[in-house]
Amino acid sequence: MSAGVVLAWATEAYERDMITPPETLGISLQWKNVKSYLKTLEYLVKQPNEFYSALARGTEYAAKK
C-alpha cells in the first residue's frame, strides 16, 4: 500500500465528513495542501492516535474502524 493511496483515501473521507478534525489532530486534509500531507505522513509513522495507527495499516483496515 503506498502512502499516496492512503492520503488520497483519507482526503476523500475527510471531504465527505467521514473523518473529523479531532481524528486528524487538527490537520485539514485537502488536495494540494502539501504541508498537511507532510504532517500526515509524519503521523503515519509516529501513530500518535488510533486514527493514524489504523491508517498506517492501510485503507481497508482504516475503513473498518
Written as tens digits, the pLDDT of the chain (65 aa) is 589 999 999 999 999 999 999 999 999 999 999 999 999 999 999 999 999 999 999 888 888 87
Report the candidate in 3, 64, 49 with the shortest Cα–Cα distance to residue 11. 3
Cβ(20)–Cβ(10) under 8 Å?
no
* pLDDT at 64 (0 to 100): 85
Give the chain's largest Cα–Cα span: 27
